[in-house]
Chains A and B, each alone.
Chain A
Amino acid sequence: MHGLINKAIQSFVCSTYGKSRWIRVTEAANLGFVEYEAMLVYDNRVSRRVLDELCRELGRPQAELLEDLGTYLVSNPNTEALRRLLRFGGVTYVEFLHSLDDLPDRARLAVSDLDLPPLELREEQDGRFSLACHDGLPGYADVMMGILRAMADDYGALVILEHVGTGQDCEVIEITLIETAFAEGRKFDLGARAG
């Protein structure tokens, strides 16, 4: 798994639960180091072990933890740059949803060995959408749930999200848009640069 993904997990744990718990997890998982390098690629089994130990250490189910990770990626000031890149997707939440199809390609454009599985948005009737998160990255749909939820807050949209299960070769999230301008949302200026 790419260092950026591993580093995201590390950053989430350190900032939410404290560095000492992260160190304990790395020890329990026999990681042999404490800091991931963002631009190196790690063996999937290593990332797997860390996630397993993390769930054990925190006593929380993996899906829940990964959804929190998704929320963290959008809402924490540490990862403001990522939130900005997601906001590049569009002026409204619906445009953002449509831009998700391009997300894996955009990620690859930025970091050529960052392989995100395809995302496919389907627009159904009456403000309903379904997002197919294709296989290839365990927990992908869980992280996306957190991202979608936090981005709705970011745009000030009111949405209902439901992880409706596993399809042929993907997991599907159903998104029901109740109101596009429910709250003010957070300010976004295309020209500003993330510090």
Chain B
Amino acid sequence: MTGPGDLVTLLDRLCPMFALLDSDGRISRVGPTLQKLRPQTSFEGTAFLETFELLRPRSIVGVPELMACSGAKLHLRFRDAPRTALKGLIVPLPGNQGAVVNLSFGISILDAVRDYALTAADFAGTDLAIELLYLVETKSAAMEASRKLNLQLQGAKIAAEEQAFTDTLTGLKNRRAMDHVLKRLLTGATPFALMHLDLDYFKSVNDTLGHAAGDHVLQQVARIMVEETRGHDTIARIGGDEFVLVFNFLQDRERLDSIARRLIDRLEEPIDYNGEACRVSASIGTVLSSQFAAPEASKLLHAADLALYAAKRDGRATHRFYSRDLCLPQDDAQMRRGGGGAGTQPAGSVRLSANGPDIGGKKAP
């Protein structure tokens, strides 16, 4: 096999995307697959560099440079649409008879098989193109499945968090859990006491020592509250530094007062955080379910809130019981409720802050 015809037959089979160039850089033959990309185009006789735009190497500006760069990797694309990007390798023929350029798609193969409706028959049997396509499709399918699972798990996680009864920071119950407990106790007409405890000076710990210190303090506070109560009492963190404690069957004021004082005493002990002493205190308001003829959760929480507020007004680190004569002075009520017609609002509509107390405006000095 020495004639040009033999060479073409050989190239047709071995690399069906070849272009055979004469010594002037004109195309004399193209392989069947390259022809398939431009069925209407007659390549023969056209200048290679006018059909294809050479992107790299940039040092090639004309045919002499092209012919001289044997073995160099070429980056090209069609000058007409679709401007498919191609990779190429040029090998000059002996005796200044021109050169062979072998083209391939490189990364553009995914678009190319679609744009030109290529089949396995268009690639040489040794070409890894089909394996690559296979790999891309299986990978995409697997990835899609994993993406769906990801989104599903993400959704499940959010749903689980919404349904959770636990405050993840402290391990105490959360507000949702407290609502459930109150509902159950009220339905069963079980007498109980409800304490609303609010930390004092917590914000300054957060501000001066950082959130991590604040979190540590909350965890220690939670531990103290668990230690100072009975196993079947409910302790919930319902806001940033607000807690509600529910004592089943307990209506004894003396005992409740001693629990509250003991809690305050222990919470006032400095809490160590990385060698820094964090100091907080607490104010507590307590209500007994028996103080209402028809107790409702919202009424009880409001009453405990009023008692807490009275405790704050008495100076911090104080415990107060709710009594009927406790009510919000008009000015303070305005402050507490953001000025929203406090006097006419029914007691049940006052809610404890779920987002943590706004130290600046809500509390009495």
> Do A and B actually bind?
yes
Q: Is B106 in contact with chain A by the CB < 8 A criterion? A: yes
How long is the Cα–Cα vector from A40 to B143 in the complex, in angstroms?
Answer: 12
How long is the Cα–Cα vector from A110 to B107 in the complex, in angstroms?
Answer: 12
Would you give 7 A-B contacts (Cβ < 8 Å), ordered by A?
Answer: A20-B212, A24-B210, A37-B150, A109-B107, A110-B139, A112-B140, A122-B58
Interface 1/0 per residue, A69-82 and B, CB below 8 Å:
00000000000000
Q: Evaluate contact between A24 and B212: CB separation under 8 angstroms.
A: yes
Interface 1/0 per residue, A30-60 and B, CB below 8 Å:
0000000101100000000000000000000
Interface 1/0 per residue, B178-212 and A, CB below 8 Å:
00000000000000000000000000000000111
Q: Is A105 in contact with chain B by the CB < 8 A criterion? A: yes
Query: How many contacts between A and B, using CB within 8 angstroms?
Result: 34
How long is the Cα–Cα vector from A40 to B212 in the complex, in angstroms?
Answer: 28
Name the contact of B146 in the complex, choosing from A24, A39, A109, A123 (C-beta under 8 A). A39
Interface 1/0 per residue, B146-183 and A, CB below 8 Å:
11001100100000000000000000000000000000
Q: Evaluate contact between B150 and A39: CB separation under 8 angstroms.
A: yes
Q: Is A7 in contact with chain B by the CB < 8 A criterion? A: no
Smallest CB gap from A123: residue in B:
B58
Q: Could you list which residues of chain B lie within 8 angstroms of chain A, going by C-beta atoms?
A: 56-59, 75, 106-108, 110, 136, 139-140, 143, 146-147, 150-151, 154, 210-212
Given the interface contacts A20-B212, A112-B140, does A123 sit within 8 Å of B57 by beta carbon?
A: yes
Q: Is A162 in contact with chain B by the CB < 8 A criterion? A: no
How long is the Cα–Cα vector from A112 to B147 in the complex, in angstroms?
Answer: 11
Smallest CB gap from B58: residue in A:
A123
Q: Is A84 in contact with chain B by the CB < 8 A criterion? A: no
Give chain A residues whose Cβ lies under 8 Å from the Cβ of B58.
Answer: 122-123
CB of A147, distance to nearest CB on chain B (Å): 19
How long is the Cα–Cα vector from A111 to B150 in the complex, in angstroms?
Answer: 14
Q: Is A64 in contact with chain B by the CB < 8 A criterion? A: no
Give chain B residues whose Cβ lies under 8 Å from the Cβ of A102.
Answer: 106-107
Question: A20, A23, A109 — which one has the most chain B CB atoms within 10 A of its CB?
Answer: A109
CB of A53, distance to nearest CB on chain B (Å): 12
Q: Evaluate contact between A40 and B107: CB separation under 8 angstroms.
A: no
How long is the Cα–Cα vector from A157 to B154 in the complex, in angstroms?
Answer: 44
How long is the Cα–Cα vector from A112 to B110 in the complex, in angstroms?
Answer: 13
Interface residues of A in 1-36 (CB under 8 A from B): 20, 23-24, 27
How long is the Cα–Cα vector from A59 to B15 in the complex, in angstroms?
Answer: 58
CB of A40, distance to nearest CB on chain B (Å): 6
Q: Evaluate contact between B140 and A98: CB separation under 8 angstroms.
A: no
Q: Evaluate contact between A39 and B147: CB separation under 8 angstroms.
A: yes
Q: Evaluate contact between A40 and B136: CB separation under 8 angstroms.
A: no
How long is the Cα–Cα vector from A105 to B110 in the complex, in angstroms?
Answer: 11
How long is the Cα–Cα vector from A101 to B107 in the complex, in angstroms?
Answer: 11
